[in-house]
Amino acid sequence: MNLIKTPEEVNIMAEGGKILAAVLKEVEKMAVAGMTTLQLDRAAEALILRYGAKPAFKGYQGFPYSLCTSVNEVIVHGFPSNYVLKNGDIVGLDLGVLWKGYNTDMAVTVAIGEIPFETKRLMDVTKKALKLGIKKARAGVTTGDIGNTIQRYVEDQGFGIIRDLQGHGIGKGVHEEPGVPNYGQRHKGTKLEEGMVICIEPMLTMGGITIKKAKDGYGFTTRDGSLSAHFEHTIAIFKDGARILTQ
């Protein structure tokens, strides 16, 4: 597996990422009280197909939907269902697009109606953790450098970091090397090289950091039932920093 993408490949992934960002923005607007997560999945798939792209997740390792919908204590990979979103919920929307043979991956967490202050703070800290991880990423730094940057910020804010799930490389495969943990030691892990494309995706919790499989067999939930938030971008690595492809 070639982890280094050519400039042409990066540009193709940026095209796909632009489609992905546009679709996810529309689905995010639809995530309101009264909608089911299955309706969000169907809308996401229809929009992707309208752009001439394909859903990256549908059929991947047997996953039967296009959109992962992770409500409240579900961390990632939640199944869309007939669950009706209600005021006070938060829902993680994780979506992938396949465009001209290359994948991109992106996630946001959305508040449904009014949410408590601490829940909003969880979301804000998760989003900023992603921003800090992207800012750290460039050729020559390690995955441990990125993880350490995220970890120090998050733990200083009083939230927990899921350790059993992590970011990843991406390209022709949805998941490629290297793994990109959201914690770690400086100068440890994989050294990033120009042309690598990775997904950084902090997953934070208001409680404990241990996880368990969801009832659907695909998703993961916090073991203690505490709320979790998740944000993700696909980025390309360059000498002077990172280019966000999913925007």
**Residues of the binding site:** 77, 94, 105, 168, 175, 201, 232
Beta bridge pairs of residue 210: none
Binding-site residues from annotation for substrate: 77, 175
**Contact assessment for residue 153 and residue 135, using Cβ atoms and an 8 Å cutoff:** no
Q: Is the dihedral of CA 206, 210, 215, 216 positive or negative?
A: positive
Q: Which residue has 């089911």 as its token pair? A: 36
Q: Is the dihedral of CA 167, 172, 176, 180 positive or negative?
A: negative
Alpha-carbon distances, residue 25 vs 55, 56, 143, 209, 221 (angstroms): 16, 17, 28, 29, 25
Binding-site residues from annotation for a divalent metal cation: 94, 105, 168, 201, 232
Q: In the numeric block, which tokens belong to residue 14? A: 């940026």
Beta bridge pairs of residue 168: 179, 199
